[in-house]
Amino acid sequence: MGFFTGKTAIVTGAGSGIGRALALALADAGCAVAITDIVQERLDSVLRELESKGTRAGGYRVDHSRREEVEAFAARFFQEWGRVDILCSNAGVGHGGWYTEMPLEDWEWVLGINLWGAIYMMHYFVPRMIEQGGGSILLTASDAGLVAMPGMTAYNASKYAVVGMGETLRIELSEHNIRVSLLCPGDIDTNIIRDGKVYLYDRKGRSAKPEIEKYYRTRGVPPEVVAEAALRGLERDRAVIVVPWIHHGPLILLRRISPQLYHALMRFALRKGIVHKMFGIQR
Ligand code: NAD
- The pTM is what? 0.97
Is the Cβ atom of 80 under 6 angstroms away from ligand 1? no
Whether 264 maps to a domain, the answer reads: no
Whether 268 maps to a domain, the answer reads: no
**Cβ 179 vs Cβ 170: under 8 Å:** yes
Whether 232 maps to a domain, the answer reads: yes
Pocket probe for ligand 1: among 192, 195, 219, 242, the residue whose CB has the most ligand atoms within 8 Å is 192
CA distance 212 to 205: 15
Whether 238 maps to a domain, the answer reads: yes
Is residue 260 predicted with pLDDT exceeding 80? yes
The residues near 154 (Cβ < 8 Å, ≥ 6 apart) are: 95, 97, 102, 106, 107, 110, 111
* Greater model confidence, 209 or 8: 8
**Cβ 136 vs Cβ 86: under 8 Å:** yes
Is residue 162 predicted with pLDDT exceeding 80? yes
Total of domains in the chain: 1
Output the CA torsion sign for 227, 123, 39, 53: positive
Nearest-atom index, ligand 1, CA of 196 = 2
How much distance in Å is there from the Cα of 221 to the middle of ligand 1?
15
CA distance 168 to 177: 14
Q: Domain limits at 45? A: 8-249
Is residue 123 predicted with pLDDT exceeding 70? yes
Q: Are strands 32-37 and 8-11 parallel, antiparallel or unpaired?
A: parallel
Whether 269 maps to a domain, the answer reads: no
Bond before 244 cis per omega within 30 degrees: yes
**Ligand 1: residue whose CA is nearest its atom 15:** 92
Nearest-atom index, ligand 1, CA of 140 = 32
Whether 282 maps to a domain, the answer reads: no
Task: Specify the pLDDT at position 283.
Answer: 63
Cα separations in angstroms, 4 against 29, 32, 56, 190: 6, 9, 14, 25
Is the Cβ atom of 162 under 6 angstroms away from ligand 1? no
Beta bridge pairs of residue 179: 136
Whether 156 maps to a domain, the answer reads: yes
**Ligand 1: residue whose CA is nearest its atom 41:** 188
- Alpha-carbon Rg for the chain in angstroms: 19
Could you give the percent of the chain with pLDDT greater than 90? 89
String of DSSP letters for 91-150 = ----EEE-GGG--HHHHHHHIIIIIHHHHHHHHHHHHHHHHHT-EEEEEE--GGGTS--T
CATH number, position 185: 3.40.50.720
Please state the rounded mean pLDDT for residues 84-101: 96
How much distance in Å is there from the Cα of 3 to the middle of ligand 1?
26
How much distance in Å is there from the Cα of 187 to the middle of ligand 1?
12
Is residue 195 predicted with pLDDT exceeding 90? yes
Task: Specify the pLDDT at position 1.
Answer: 76
Please state the rounded mean pLDDT for residues 224-238: 98
Is residue 108 predicted with pLDDT exceeding 90? yes
pLDDT digits (tens, 9 = 90+) for 200-216: 887 778 888 888 999 99
CA distance 142 to 158: 10
Pocket probe for ligand 1: among 10, 11, 16, 111, the residue whose CB has the most ligand atoms within 8 Å is 16
Please state the rounded mean pLDDT for residues 219-239: 98
Is the Cβ atom of 92 under 6 angstroms away from ligand 1? yes
CA distance 121 to 12: 9
Is residue 89 predicted with pLDDT exceeding 80? yes
CA distance 107 to 153: 9
Computed over every residue of the chain, the mean pLDDT equals 96
- Phi and psi torsions of 100, nearest 5°: -70, -15
Is residue 225 predicted with pLDDT exceeding 90? yes
Task: Specify the pLDDT at position 24.
Answer: 98
Spatial CA neighbour of 60 closest among 104, 93, 91: 91
Task: Specify the pLDDT at position 281.
Answer: 75
Catalytic annotation, pick one of 155, 160, 216, 262: 155
Known catalytic residue: 155?
yes
Whether 279 maps to a domain, the answer reads: no
